[in-house]
Amino acid sequence: MELQTLTIVDARKMLDTGEVTAVELAEEYVAAAREMNTQLNAYLEIFEDVHEQAQKADEMIAAGNIFPMTGIPIAIKDNILIKGRVSSGASKILENYVATYDAYVIEKLKAEGAVFLGRTNMDEFAMGGSTENSAFGPTKNPHDIARIPGGSSGGSAAVVAAHMALASLGTDTGGSIRQPAALCGVVGFKPTYGAVSRFGTMAMGSSLDQIGPITKTVTDAELLFGTIRGHDSRDATSRPDAYFSESQQGKRIGVPRHFLKEGTDEDVLEAFNESLKKLEAHGYEIVDIELPNIQYALATYYIIMPAEVSTNLARYDGIRYGVHHDGETLLGDYMQTRGKGFGAEARRRILLGTFVLSSGYVDAYYRKATAVRNQLKKEFEKVFAGVDFIVTPTSPTPAFKIGEKVNDPVAMYAADIFTVPVNMTGVPALSVPMGTVVRDGSTLPIGIQFIAKHGADTALFAIGKDFEKMK
Amino acid sequence: MTDVDIAKLAQLARIAIDTEEQKELERDIPAILAFVEQIQAAGGEVTKETGDHYNIFREDGEPHAPGAYTDEMLASMPNEKDGYLRVRKIISQD
**CATH number where B17 lies:** 1.10.20
Cα separations in angstroms, B39 against A64, A310, A377, A404: 57, 21, 15, 27
- d(C-alpha A454, C-alpha B10), whole Å: 38
How many angstroms from the chain centroid is the CA of residue A199? Answer: 16
Nearest-Cα distance to chain A for B85, in Å, is: 7
Rg (CA), chain B: 23
Is residue A176 annotated as part of the catalytic site, yes or no?
A: yes
CB contact under 8 Å between A101 and B69, yes or no, is: yes
Interface test with A, best of B4, B15, B48, B85 (most A CBs within 10 A): B15
* DSSP letter for each residue of A233-278: TTSTTPPPGGGS--S----EEEE-HHHHSTT--HHHHHHHHHHHHH
Is residue A77 annotated as part of the catalytic site, yes or no?
A: yes
Query: CATH top-level class for A8-243?
Result: alpha beta
Could you count the other beta carbons within 10 Å of the beta carbon of residue A422? 27
Mind listing the pLDDT tens digit for each residue in A345-374? 999 999 999 999 999 999 999 999 999 999
Please tell me which of the candidates A300, A334, A371 has its beta carbon nearest to residue B45.
A371
CB contact under 8 Å between B44 and A413, yes or no, is: no
pLDDT at B43: 78
CB contact under 8 Å between B32 and A410, yes or no, is: yes
- d(C-alpha A256, C-alpha A338), whole Å: 42
Are the beta carbons of A189 and A229 closer than 8 angstroms?
no
> Which DSSP state fits A367?
I
Report the interhelical angle of A457-469 vs A218-228 (nearest 10°): 160
Residue type, A5: T
Nearest-Cα distance to chain B for A340, in Å, is: 8
pLDDT at A228: 98
Question: Residue B88 domain-assigned?
Answer: no
Strand A285-288 versus strand A252-255 pairing type: parallel
Q: For B40-66, what is the mean pLDDT?
A: 76
Q: How does residue A262 score in pLDDT terms, banded at 50, 70 and 90?
A: confident
pLDDT at B51: 55
CB contact under 8 Å between B54 and A237, yes or no, is: yes
Nearest-Cα distance to chain A for B60, in Å, is: 11
User: Which B residues 23-62 touch A at CB under 8 Å?
Assistant: 25, 28-29, 31-33, 35-58
What's the domain range around B25? 1-42
CB contact under 8 Å between A299 and B37, yes or no, is: yes
Is residue A310 annotated as part of the catalytic site, yes or no?
A: no
- d(C-alpha A393, C-alpha A298), whole Å: 15
Cα separations in angstroms, A152 against A233, A261, A278, B14: 27, 25, 31, 25
Q: How does residue A213 score in pLDDT terms, banded at 50, 70 and 90?
A: very high
Inform me whether the pLDDT recorded for A445 exceeds 70: yes
Task: Give the full edge-to-edge strand order of the sheet including A73-77.
Answer: A43-46, A115-120, A73-77, A167-172, A210-215, A187-190, A429-439, A442-451, A389-393, A252-255, A285-288
* DSSP letter for each residue of A140-192: PBTTBTTB---SSSHHHHHHHHTTSSSEEEEEESSSTTHHHHHHHTSEEEEPP
Shortest CA distance to A388 belongs to which of A251, A190, A281, A192? A251
- d(C-alpha A393, C-alpha B80), whole Å: 51
pLDDT at A241: 86
Percent over 90 (pLDDT), chain A? 94
* CB proximity B74 to A under 8 Å: no
Q: How does residue B45 score in pLDDT terms, banded at 50, 70 and 90?
A: confident
How many angstroms from the chain centroid is the CA of residue B94? Answer: 29
Mind listing the pLDDT tens digit for each residue in A96-136? 999 999 999 999 999 999 999 999 999 999 999 999 999 99
* CB proximity B91 to A under 8 Å: no
Question: Residue B54 domain-assigned?
Answer: no
For residue A328, the chain B residue with the least C-alpha distance is: B88
Shortest CA distance to A91 belongs to which of A318, A401, A406? A318
CB contact under 8 Å between A372 and B69, yes or no, is: no
* CB proximity A380 to B under 8 Å: no
Question: Residue B35 domain-assigned?
Answer: yes
Interface test with B, best of A107, A296, A330, A373 (most B CBs within 10 A): A296
Interface test with B, best of A104, A374, A408 (most B CBs within 10 A): A374
- Chain A residues close to B25, C-beta within 8 Å: 347-348, 351
Cα separations in angstroms, B84 against A98, A199, A327: 19, 26, 21
> Which DSSP state fits B57?
P
Residue tagged active-site, from A87, A134, A152, A197:
A152
SS3 A286: strand
Q: For A15-31, what is the mean pLDDT?
A: 98
Residue tagged active-site, from A88, A91, A176, A310:
A176
Domain boundaries, chain A: 8-243
Question: Residue B79 domain-assigned?
Answer: no
Question: Residue B21 domain-assigned?
Answer: yes
Q: How does residue A68 score in pLDDT terms, banded at 50, 70 and 90?
A: very high
- d(C-alpha A174, C-alpha A302), whole Å: 10
CB contact under 8 Å between B25 and A348, yes or no, is: yes
B89 DSSP β-pair partners: none
* CB proximity B79 to A under 8 Å: yes
- Chain B residues close to A374, C-beta within 8 Å: 44, 51-52
3-state secondary structure string, A400-433? CECCCCCCCHHHHHHHHCCCHHHHHHCCCEEEEE
Q: For B79-94, what is the mean pLDDT?
A: 85
Percent over 70 (pLDDT), chain A? 99
- Chain A residues close to B40, C-beta within 8 Å: 364, 368
* CB proximity B93 to A under 8 Å: no
Whether complex ipTM tops 0.95:
no
* CB proximity A362 to B under 8 Å: no
User: Which A residues 331-360 touch B at CB under 8 Å?
Assistant: 331, 333-336, 338-340, 342, 344, 347-348, 350-352, 354-355, 358
Inform me whether the pLDDT recorded for A390 exceeds 60: yes
pLDDT at B50: 56
CB contact under 8 Å between B36 and A302, yes or no, is: yes
Question: Residue B91 domain-assigned?
Answer: no
Nearest-Cα distance to chain B for A465, in Å, is: 31
Instruction: State the total domains in chain B.
Output: 1
